[in-house]
Structure 1
Amino acid sequence: MPVPATSGRSSGSPPSANTPHARSLAPDLARGVMLAVIALVHAHMLVGGDSHFAGGYPTHGDVLDRIAAAVLTLFADSRGYPMFAALFGYGLARVAANRAVSGWDWPRVRRFLRRRGWWMVLFGLFHAVLLFPGDILATYGLLALVFVGALRWSDRALIRLAGVCLVVCSTLYSVAFVGAMAATGSGAAAMETVDPLTDAAIRLASWPVSTLLFAVTSLSPFLVGIWAARRQLLEHPERSLGLLRATAIGGITIAVVGGLPLALIHSLLWTDTSTLVSTAAFALHSTAGVAGGLGYAALIALLAVRLGDRGGPLVTALRASGERSMTCYLLQSVVWFALFNPTTFNLGQHIDVATSVLVGLGVWVLGLLVADLLRRAGRRGPFEVLLRRLSAERDRGRVSRDQG
């Protein structure tokens, strides 16, 4: 998961191009924390299977496994990605606003953002083929390409479409997901160990479908993020404490309540797993997850207000990983491949869901350490730098031609 970077002076679309200017704490802190959520989700999805998300939750798990499944369903699954999608929309809007302040007209801003979108799609393609099937880089790039015009929509249009997409898109995503699981089966028995080339070919074949599905379910929070950016809710959270408190309390409460049916299924307390019941539970869970993602973002913004200029080593490391979120996200994928692929350590065949929590947290901590080492060395994230250069160089060439 990659992820947007925003700051008081400049902001980037997820994953962001970092700047040397002073940055707002809330966006980076949010991404740093949510990278932990993403790590927890990916770790348990690889349990019992291989690099295609064959596993996920126990069918005959012990009590600890069932508790872990319920907790992850309520607080992690489908909660991190919506928040990242909202931050992506937020970052995209802030980039456009900052470029406009610098004198760029709208056609130039649109070209720049779409160019970044194309590069993100390409990054996502290589990411999926070489490492990991659950890529979201291409999803963000696709949103930038198709919906860059939303940056000029009215507030009413943004909120109305976000509301429609929240229900319709979550339902479509749920039907497609449950249908795919029913067709292929879940668990390690549904997958066959294949050679590396075939493994990569499977990921390549599934990449367009997964990218489109992730884009569908990410559209609603993406639009809300654009709306929030116009009010600079993350750069100046102290101005909107009432709204942030209501969003944090309401959003997280909705996520927990809406996730209860699926949590009962995953923890084996609800045994009716017919297609209709599973689809309804998954749709409710996904829809509520959008509220949860927004609630998490609001809660972290409130925490940033409380912290102010204070912060110990953990906050510093979280902020460093948030500034280098794309690099940390891709680093996680490298570790997943090394640990879980059948051609390497094949760890998914040897751990349960409860143990995957420890593995996920360990991988996240590794990212914190790497990000903090880069911070100490005065280095940006290498993939953030690469995206920035690939986007900016062509832009400078266009500017030179226009001026010539």
Structure 2
Amino acid sequence: MRSQQARSTIPDAAPVTGRGSRIASVDALRGFALLGILVVNIAFLASGYRMAGQAEPAFNAPLDWAVRWAVTLFLENKFYLLFSFLFGYSFTLQLGSAARQGRRFTPMFVRRLGGLFVLGMAHAVLLFPGDILTTYAAVGIALLVLRRITPRAAVLLAAGLTALLALAFVLLAVMTSAGLDMSHTVADTAAEAARSDAALVGGFAQIVEEHVRKLSLILVLRVFFQGPAVLAACLIGLAVGKLGLLHDTTAHRNALRKLQWIGFTVGLSGALFYTASAWTGTAHKFWGEAVDLVTAPLLAAAYAATFLRLLPRLPRLGHILAAPGRMALSNYLAQSLICSLIFTGYGFALMDRVSPPLEVLIACAVFAAQVGYSRWWLRRHRYGPVEWWLRHLTYWRRPASAVIQPDG
């Protein structure tokens, strides 16, 4: 079981918790991001229309639209950036751990990235083509190359990547306004979305075939757009990690307060523009994406700053979220598995039959179950099941003391 010292860390915002020198606030923030990712992803897992950028035609009630707007405004494109930031931050922790232990970091990290890529491909083909683990595997190589970069240079590079991506979407918007057809992405018509959903409520072979087809269609978007956005967020995490800013958040209250002011004013303004354009024509969507690329990181930063400032006052919430955050990889994959059992032919085949409000309720229920399961699992094990496998691969040996023995 976790020690009393571990329980005291969140209220005092201290860095080290429990066994293995984990940072409690980072685990809790990761759990918070995991919840946001699930609430966003469940809509794409429940309907091919959302993957096509369209509203599900069966749900047009005011409450349905209110939920769509709320999720798009407050959550979409924010929480995967927050998770990417934590990936970059964790990279610096792994570098430090390898240095303290006198281990060669590169071979270990490459094996880890290989494991992430294999998991990501299996996840994308079997469960959800919107997988991000393969992107992390690719971005991890870039982090490895850039691991000696200074914090200032990392921030400047992240800003440059973000600006270039925004300019790319501006170009797409201008080209679309000029009459060029730039709409063909995954499924740009209602008929195509309906065909996709019909395949996903079929048998195993049909589901896998449809996932592979979608992967081939979104590959360009993943490589040229999502990849650089993820790398930019990881670089910010790397800079923060190098500066050790999350080891004692109470020492940076003024900086966190400034992030809140800037993030909530500029970030929410950009999110509102993005949301208003998300359900309109393609040119408007591209303008919205351009604005969102610049402002979504600010809103994500405001969320993180607010969470970290509130954490000492809400220790119980921190402990609740830290458990799923400690085994985030296992829970991320489990979320897709559970949703696939609910919505596809793997299980109940409820594709396009669940309203947006009910999707959010299901997401909250799934996450609540994961909180309980994670707390139960971590009383008996040091790592989540997938984390244990990935650690085994990283160190090329069975992790020591995987099972925690009862005290006494």
Judge same fold: TM > 0.5, yes or no.
yes
The structure 2 residue matched to 1:57, chosen from 55, 58, 67, is: 55
Check whether the contact 2:32–2:321 (CA below 8 A) recurs between aligned residues: yes
In the TM superposition, 1:4-403 aligns within 5 A as 8=15, 20-49=19-48, 53=51, 57-58=55-56, 61-104=60-103, 108-170=104-166, 172=168, 179-181=183-185, 184-185=188-189, 188-189=193-194, 191=196, 193-194=198-199, 195-207=203-215, 209=219, 211-212=222-223, 213-266=225-278, 273-307=280-314, 311-312=315-316, 314-393=317-396
5+ unaligned residues in a row in structure 2: which ranges? Answer: 1-13, 174-181, 400-408
How much has 1:222 moved relative to structure 2?
0.8
| Cα deviation digits, residues 235-292 of structure 1 (max 9, x gap) | 21112111122113322332211011232245x6xxxx33221110122123321222
In structure 2, distance between residues paired with 1:78 and 1:255: 11
How much has 1:90 moved relative to structure 2?
0.5
Check whether the contact 1:58–1:66 (CA below 8 A) recurs between aligned residues: no
Check whether the contact 1:29–1:318 (CA below 8 A) recurs between aligned residues: yes
In structure 2, distance between residues paired with 1:239 and 1:387: 34
Question: Counterpart amino acid of 1:341?
Answer: T
Aligned-pair identity in percent equals: 25
| Cα deviation digits, residues 333-388 of structure 1 (max 9, x gap) | 11111011145322232122222111111121121121111123345200011100
Aligned to 1:4: none
182 and 368 in structure 1: CA distance in 2 versus 1, 3 angstrom threshold: closer
**TM-score using structure 2 length:** 0.81
9 and 100 in structure 1: CA distance in 2 versus 1, 3 angstrom threshold: farther
336 and 173 in structure 1: CA distance in 2 versus 1, 3 angstrom threshold: farther
Check whether the contact 1:321–1:367 (CA below 8 A) recurs between aligned residues: yes
In structure 1, distance between residues paired with 2:215 and 2:115: 16
In structure 2, distance between residues paired with 1:288 and 1:200: 36
In structure 1, distance between residues paired with 2:364 and 2:287: 30
Question: Counterpart amino acid of 1:323?
Answer: R
Greater shift, 369-378 or 54-63, is seen at 54-63
In structure 2, distance between residues paired with 1:280 and 1:261: 9
Query: SS of 1:61's equivalent?
Result: coil
| Cα deviation digits, residues 296-350 of structure 1 (max 9, x gap) | 222222223444xxx33x4322111011111111110111110111453222321
In structure 2, distance between residues paired with 1:184 and 1:343: 25
How much has 1:29 moved relative to structure 2?
0.9
How much has 1:169 moved relative to structure 2?
2.6
292 and 190 in structure 1: CA distance in 2 versus 1, 3 angstrom threshold: farther
| Cα deviation digits, residues 65-108 of structure 1 (max 9, x gap) | 1211111111110010000111100000121123223334xxx2
342 and 261 in structure 1: CA distance in 2 versus 1, 3 angstrom threshold: farther
Aligned to 1:14: none
Question: Counterpart amino acid of 1:261?
Answer: F
Question: Counterpart amino acid of 1:355?
Answer: L
Query: SS of 2:198's equivalent?
Result: coil
In structure 2, distance between residues paired with 1:55 and 1:274: 10
Q: RMSD over aligned Cα, in angstroms? A: 2.8
Question: Counterpart amino acid of 1:23?
Answer: R
Greater shift, 147-156 or 365-374, is seen at 147-156
**TM-score using structure 1 length:** 0.82
5+ unaligned residues in a row in structure 1: which ranges? Answer: 1-6, 11-18, 397-404
In structure 1, distance between residues paired with 2:188 and 2:66: 26
Aligned to 1:400: none
